[in-house]
Structure 1
Amino acid sequence: MSPAPGAEARLRPPPKCNECMIKRVAWSKPRVDLCYDCLPGGPFTAPPCEKCGSADYFSQGMCVRCHPGGPRHLGACRGCLAWGVYRQRSWLCSSCIWWRTHYPWGVCGSCHRESWIAEQGACRLCLEQARMLQEPGRALDLVVANEHGQQLFFANMHFQRRRTRRLAPEPRASKKKWKTPGGWGRPGPAPDQLVLSEWVQPVLVDVPPDPELVRRRALIENSELTRYCAVIVREHAERFGWSKRQRNDVVRSLRLLQTLRESPTAKIRASDVLQLPRYDGNIISTLDVLDAAGLLIEDRPRPIETYFTTKTAALPPVMREQLEVWLKVMLDGATTAPRQRSRDPLTVRIRIRAIVPAVTAWAGAGHQSLAEITAAQVRAALPETGGQRVLMEQGLRSLFKLLKARKLIFANPMRGMKGNRANATVPMPLDTVLIREKLNSTNPAIALAVALVAFHALTAKQVSELLVTDIVDGRLTLDGRSIPLADPVRERLARWLDHRQARWPNSRNPHLLVHQRSAPRLLPAGRTFPWKQAGIRPQALREDRILAEVHATGGDARRISDLFGIGIETTNRYLDTLEHPDLISESQDVRGTSTPR
C-alpha cells in the first residue's frame, strides 16, 4: 500500500543520535540531535510510549511498534496488501518475498496494479482471490473472481489450501508431446524474441552458488529462456532422435542456466555451460540448442590452447608471452613476413611437446626471455641423436625465426645451424594373434574398425569420417576409388549395423561409426574411437596390411600405389623391406589371399 503524498516524510525513520550513533534522536519536532542517554546532564530515563505505554522507547514519544518509522511498525504488504508486515522486512510478507525472486515486476491484468506478476499475468492477490472462488473441476477464472472486489487477509498466515478436484485430462492426439521436469508445459506462450544485451554488470564478489539450492529453484523456474527454447528443443529432439531422458536433461540444463546467469537479458557463455556437471546438467546438447537459438557466446579455449597453457604455466611472463605470439601464428597463420599458413593442431602439439624441455631448462637457469638465449645454449639443450633431436630442431627453428621477424629477439640463435634429417622408420609386421583377437572382438565397433584397416588399409581419419552412404552393394567409395569389401568385412559390417539400429534406432547421424555422445548429433565419433578401447594402433595395423601386400605381390609398385592410394615415396618405403626377408608379415594367415584391385 503506497502512503499518502504528505505522509511520506512522516513514515521516514528519524535520524540516529549524533553522539552514540546507535539510538534514535529523542524528538524530531522540535528537532533534537541527541538521544535520552546522550542529552546534556544525562543519561535520562526515556518516558513510556504515549499510545500503548510500552517502555521500549523509540522517538517522538512512541515505541518501536507505534512509531510509523519504527522497525516493528505494522503495515500493509506492498505485494498482496496483506496486513501485518514490518518495515525491517521491506513491507513484504513471506510469500511476496519469494515472489519477488521468481517473478518479474509488471502491471496486473486483473486489478491493473503494479506488482510482481506470475505466469498467468496476474498478481498474487488476484490469484489468491481466484483460488478461493475456484469451483471443483474448473480452471482459475481471474476475471470473474476479481469482478466484485477482493478479500484481504493477514500476512504470514499459513493455512491449508482447499484442494479442488480436477477434470480428467483429455487424450492427446499426438504421442510426440512430452513433459519435462518443473512443468515444461505450464501456461504461458513462448516469446517471439528475447531482449538480449552484450553488456553484463561485472561481479564484485564471486560466491559459488549452493548446488542443492540451485537445483531446487530450477525445478520451479519457468522463464522466458525456457519458453523461447522450447520449440528448438523439440525440433532437435525430433531431428536427432533424442530420448526422453536426454530431452529432460536439456530442459533441466536450461533452467539451471536461467537461474545461474548474471542478468536476465545476458547471453550465455559456453564456459558457464561447462560448469553444469556439478548440477546434473547436459552439456553438449545444451550447447547445440543455445547455438541454434542465437544465445551462445563461444568462449571455450581450443584443446591445443589448453595444452599450451598447461605446459607453459611455470615459465616467466615474458617468455610465456613470446611463446603465445608463436602459438597464434602457428594456429591462425600470418599474412606478414614471414608469411605462413596455419598448421594442423596435431602438428602444433608435437612442436610444443618438443620445445618445452629446452624452454623449461632455460627458465630454470634464470633466463626471463628467449632474447637471452645463445647458439651455444641451443646446442647444449638439443639431444645427441634420434627423432627427438630432429623435432626439437624443427620447433626451435620455427620459434626463433618468427620471434626475430616480429623483433621480439635481437638475433636468431638457430641461424647457420645445420639440421639433421629424420631417419626413415622400417615398417614392422604385427602379431597375428593380436590381429585375430581384435577381429573377433565382442564389441562390433572394434571388430568393424579393425577389419576395415586390416583388409583395406584405411587410416584412422578415413574410418571416423566414413558415411553410411559410402558403402553400396558391398563396395566402398573412398576418394574416388571403388573398393570391393572383403567377406569378413561384410560380416562385421552387418553385425555393426544391427547393433547400431538396436542401440540408437532414431539416430540421424550419417557417419558409419557412432557412440553414445555422437549418435544424437551429426558429428563424427573421432579418430580415437574405437582404437583407445581396442588397445591397438591403427597406423601400425595399416602398415602391416601394406607390408603384407608388398610381399604377396613381389613389389608391384603401381599396384601398391593404386590399391592403397599412397604416393611413390611412401610406396618405396615399403618396397625397401623386400631386401629383408625376416619382415614378411605373418598376418597373411589372417586375411588369406590378397585383396583384389
Structure 2
Amino acid sequence: MSTPPPRCNACQVNRVAWTKPRVDFCYDCLPGGPFPAPACRKCGSTDYFSQGQCGVCHPGAPMHPGSCRGCLAWGVYRAHNWHCWSCRWWQGHYPLGQCLYCGRTTRVGDSGACRLCLEQGRRLKEPDRAVDLGEANRFGQQLYLANLHAVRRGRRADWIASRRRRAQPPPVRFAPVRWRQLMLFRMPPNQAALKHRAATTDTEMFRFCDGVLRDHAAQHGWSRKQINDTARSLKLVQALQTTPGAKINASDVLELPSLGGTAASTMEILDAAGLLTDDRTTAIHRYFAAHVTALPPVMRAQVSTWFEVMLAGSKNKPRRMPRHPQTVHLHILGMAPIWQAWADRGIQSLAEISREDVATELPPPGANRCFAEQGLRGLFDILKARKQVFTNPARGLAATHSTRTIPMPLDTEMIREALNSDDPASALAVALVAFHALTGPQVQALALTDIQDGRLTIGNRSIPLAGPVRTRLAAYLDHRARTWPATINPHLFINRRTGPRTNRVGRGFPWTKLGVAPQALREDRILQEIHATGGDVRRICDLFGLTVAGAMRYATGLEPPEPTSRPASSSPTDDET
C-alpha cells in the first residue's frame, strides 16, 4: 500500500499537487494561482487528489480500494486499516496464530482456521453435513468482495435467536472415567499436531464444559474474547490428556500459556465443572523440600512431621492450630542452617540433640536468631508430644527479642504525587492509607459494603471518611462501573484479572507501580498524628486500632518537651509562700 502524499504547506488541507517532480503546494495555493486542477489521467474524474490522479485511482488516497488484510476480500479502504467489517470484529475477539489449513499468520478462530478458510468451508458445505474445512480448502479458496455477508439485526434477528435458544438440546451430562493411563516418559508435544487435534476433535467432555463456560461467563460478565480464549484452551488441554475422559490435572493447565492458551480462566471453568485435580505444589512445600533434601532420613522424617502439623494443625492431644505459611517459612529460614550443621556433624536423629548442641548452633542476635528460637521450640514440642524425642532441649532458652526499628516520615512531595495519580485505584488506595492509616491487607480485603454513608467499617471500628478520600472514592467507583459494568466481584478494588472473578487483588496492587509501600505510608500517618497530639498514646490506640505496645513504638521517637524554668529575677508571690 502506497503512503499518502504530504499536505499542502500553505493550506494544510489538500494534498500537494505533485510529488515527482516535487511540488509543495496544491493547485489552489500555487504561487500566482489558484489554477484549475487537471482531470485524472486514469479515469478522467475531476476529483483531483495528487500526482495526476483522483481520490479513487491514487494508491495513497483514503478512498482507494484494496484487499482486506484478514480475509483478502476486495473493497476495503485505508480509513478502516484495510480490514472489512467482519475482520475488524475478529481483531478484538481472536488471537494471532497460524491457520491450520492455509498456513497464513492471521487471526485464528476456535476451529484453528482463519476467516477465509471458514468462508470457503461454508460455501462448499453440503446440506445436513458438518463443515469439512480440510477438504474444502484442499485446492485453495475462492476470494469475494468485502462486506457482502449479511448481518441480521432488529426484532426479527432477536426472534430468530430466541427460537434457536429454545430449540437447543438439553444440557450435556458427563461423568469422568475413574481410571488413568500411566506414562512411561513424557515428551514435549508437537504444537502443530496438538492444535490440529484440538480443532478437529469434538468430545462429550468439551460439550459439557462448554455449557458450564457459557453459564459461568454470563454470571460473571466475561467478554466475548475471554469466552473464546477459554473455549480454545479447553480444547487444547483435552488434547493434552493421556487418558481421554479423565479429570484434568492443574499441572497440565499451567502448560497452556506456552501453547497460546489461558490458564487462570480454564482452571476456573474446570473447577466449576468438577473436572479439576489440583496437583500443584505450593511455594512453601517447594521451599521446605529444598532445605531438607540433604538431611539424613530419620531427621528428614522428624522435620516433615513438624512441617505437616504446622500447616494442617492437629486434632489429637495436644491440639494445635494451623499456622500461616509465612510463619512456617520464617521458622524454616531460621532453622535450616542449624539442621544442616547437625547433619554435617554426623547426627542422624533429632533425639540425639542436647541443650549444648542447640546453644552452639544458634546464630548471632538478630532476626534469624529470633526465628530459629521460635522454630526450635515448636519443633521439639511437637516431636516430644508424638514421642519421637525424649526431651525438649530448646525448653528454657532465653528468648531473643527482634530488633525494633524506628518509624521515619516520608517525603511529603512523594505522597502528594501519589495522591494525585492518574490511576483512580492508586489515588484511592494511597488516600485510604495516608488519611486513615489502613494496612495493606485491610485495603486488599475491602468490600463494597464496607463503605456506607461516608463511613468506613473495619471490624468494630467505624471511620468517617475524609473529604479528599470521598472525592477519590467517587472517581474510582465511576471508573470501576465504566470498566467492569457486569462484574459481580464484591471487593472494592479489582483489576483486569479479578474483574471477571470474585477473588481479591494481589498484595502488590496498586503499590508496585507507585513505588511506595503501604506500611511506610501508614507509619508516616501515625507519626503525624502522634506529633500533633503531643504523644497521646491512648488516642493513637483508639484512632488506629493499635495496642499499647505498638503505639509506644511511635511514641519513643517523639522528642521530649523542653523543661520550663523560672527566671532568676522573679520572686515568689504571697500565695506561693
How does the TM-score come out when normalised to structure 2? 0.66
Q: Which residue does 1:481 correspond to in 2?
A: 461
Cα distance in 2, alignment partners of residues 478 and 136 from structure 1 = 64
Structure 2 residue corresponding to 1:224, chosen from 165, 182, 204? 204
Cα distance in 1, alignment partners of residues 518 and 404 from structure 2 = 19
Q: Secondary structure at the match of 2:468?
A: helix
Structure 2 residue corresponding to 1:306, chosen from 263, 286, 293? 286
Q: Is the counterpart of residue 236 in structure 1 residue 211 in structure 2? A: no
CA displacement 1:176-197 (0-9 Å, x = unmatched): 98xxxxxxx9x99576311322
Q: Which residue does 2:52 correspond to in 1?
A: none
Q: Which residue does 2:529 correspond to in 1?
A: 549
Q: Secondary structure at the match of 2:462?
A: strand
Q: Is the counterpart of residue 211 in structure 1 residue 191 in structure 2? A: yes
CA displacement 1:504-557 (0-9 Å, x = unmatched): 333222211112211110000033322233332222221221121112122333
- Distance apart, 1:237 and its partner CA: 1.5
Structure 1 residue corresponding to 2:517, chosen from 528, 532, 537? 537
Q: Which residue does 1:447 correspond to in 2?
A: 427
Label 1:475 to 1:173 Cα distance change in 2 as closer, same or farther (>3 A): farther
CA displacement 1:98-123 (0-9 Å, x = unmatched): xxxxxxxxxxxxxxxxxxxxxxxxxx
Q: Is the counterpart of residue 576 in structure 1 residue 556 in structure 2? A: yes
Q: Which residue does 2:258 correspond to in 1?
A: 278
Q: Secondary structure at the match of 2:520?
A: helix
Q: Is the counterpart of residue 293 in structure 1 residue 273 in structure 2? A: yes
How does the TM-score come out when normalised to structure 1? 0.64
Q: Which residue does 2:416 correspond to in 1?
A: 436
Q: Which amino acid aligns with 2:355?
A: A
Cα distance in 1, alignment partners of residues 202 and 172 from structure 2 = 16
Structure 2 residue corresponding to 1:490, chosen from 470, 477, 492? 470
Matches within 5 A, 1:313-324: 313-324=293-304
Q: Which residue does 1:397 correspond to in 2?
A: 377
Q: Is the counterpart of residue 255 in structure 1 residue 228 in structure 2? A: no
Cα distance in 1, alignment partners of residues 456 and 215 from structure 2 = 33
Cα distance in 1, alignment partners of residues 265 and 160 from structure 2 = 19
- Distance apart, 1:473 and its partner CA: 3.6
Residues 311 and 325 in structure 2, CA contact (< 8 A), matched pair in contact too: yes
Residues 211 and 278 in structure 1, CA contact (< 8 A), matched pair in contact too: no
Structure 2 residue corresponding to 1:140, chosen from 128, 131, 137? 128
- Distance apart, 1:198 and its partner CA: 2.6
- Distance apart, 1:254 and its partner CA: 0.9
CA displacement 1:169-221 (0-9 Å, x = unmatched): 866845998xxxxxxx9x99576311322321222333332223212221222
Label 1:415 to 1:558 Cα distance change in 2 as closer, same or farther (>3 A): closer
Question: Relative to structure 2, which stretch is displaced further, 358-367 or 546-555?
Answer: 358-367
Q: Which amino acid aligns with 2:357?
A: Q
Residues 333 and 368 in structure 2, CA contact (< 8 A), matched pair in contact too: no
- Distance apart, 1:138 and its partner CA: 6.8
Q: Which amino acid aligns with 1:360?
A: Q
CA displacement 1:402-453 (0-9 Å, x = unmatched): 1232233344331343323335443332333332332233333322212111
CA displacement 1:489-512 (0-9 Å, x = unmatched): 223323333433343333222211
Q: Which residue does 2:494 correspond to in 1?
A: 514
Cα distance in 2, alignment partners of residues 296 and 339 from structure 1 = 32
Residues 315 and 363 in structure 1, CA contact (< 8 A), matched pair in contact too: yes
Label 1:238 to 1:416 Cα distance change in 2 as closer, same or farther (>3 A): same
Matches within 5 A, 1:139-158: 139-140=127-128
Residues 387 and 423 in structure 1, CA contact (< 8 A), matched pair in contact too: yes
Cα distance in 1, alignment partners of residues 182 and 420 from structure 2 = 58
Q: Which runs of 5+ in 2 are unaligned?
A: 1-121, 563-577
Q: Which amino acid aligns with 1:456?
A: H
Number of matched pairs: 426
Residues 171 and 211 in structure 2, CA contact (< 8 A), matched pair in contact too: no
Q: Secondary structure at the match of 1:395?
A: helix
Question: Relative to structure 2, which stretch is displaced further, 550-559 or 368-377?
Answer: 368-377
- Distance apart, 1:141 and its partner CA: 7.3
Q: Secondary structure at the match of 2:494?
A: coil
Q: Which residue does 1:13 correspond to in 2?
A: none
Residues 313 and 320 in structure 2, CA contact (< 8 A), matched pair in contact too: yes
Label 1:136 to 1:415 Cα distance change in 2 as closer, same or farther (>3 A): closer
Cα distance in 2, alignment partners of residues 383 and 390 from structure 1 = 9
Cα distance in 1, alignment partners of residues 298 and 199 from structure 2 = 49
Q: Which amino acid aligns with 2:425?
A: A
- Distance apart, 1:240 and its partner CA: 1.6
Cα distance in 1, alignment partners of residues 182 and 150 from structure 2 = 50
Cα distance in 2, alignment partners of residues 417 and 472 from structure 1 = 51
Residues 190 and 224 in structure 1, CA contact (< 8 A), matched pair in contact too: no
- Distance apart, 1:368 and its partner CA: 4.2
Residues 190 and 227 in structure 1, CA contact (< 8 A), matched pair in contact too: no
Residues 370 and 400 in structure 2, CA contact (< 8 A), matched pair in contact too: yes
Cα distance in 2, alignment partners of residues 135 and 512 from structure 1 = 50
Residues 225 and 254 in structure 1, CA contact (< 8 A), matched pair in contact too: no
Q: Which residue does 2:449 correspond to in 1?
A: 469
Cα distance in 2, alignment partners of residues 362 and 436 from structure 1 = 53
Q: Which amino acid aligns with 1:545?
A: R
Question: Relative to structure 2, which stretch is displaced further, 541-550 or 476-485?
Answer: 476-485
Label 1:375 to 1:137 Cα distance change in 2 as closer, same or farther (>3 A): closer
Q: Which amino acid aligns with 1:517?
A: R
Q: Secondary structure at the match of 2:189?
A: coil
Q: Is the counterpart of residue 382 in structure 1 residue 362 in structure 2? A: yes
Label 1:445 to 1:225 Cα distance change in 2 as closer, same or farther (>3 A): same
Cα distance in 2, alignment partners of residues 370 and 397 from structure 1 = 13
Q: Which runs of 5+ in 1 are unaligned?
A: 1-133, 143-155, 178-184, 583-597
- Distance apart, 1:297 and its partner CA: 1.7
Question: Relative to structure 2, which stretch is displaced further, 330-339 or 460-469?
Answer: 330-339
Q: Secondary structure at the match of 2:262?
A: coil
Q: Which has the larger radius of gyration?
A: 1
Cα distance in 1, alignment partners of residues 158 and 531 from structure 2 = 63
Cα distance in 2, alignment partners of residues 546 and 565 from structure 1 = 11
Residues 209 and 273 in structure 2, CA contact (< 8 A), matched pair in contact too: yes
Cα distance in 2, alignment partners of residues 297 and 196 from structure 1 = 12
Q: Is the counterpart of residue 460 in structure 1 residue 460 in structure 2? A: no
CA displacement 1:219-252 (0-9 Å, x = unmatched): 2222112211222111222222212221111101
- Distance apart, 1:302 and its partner CA: 3.0
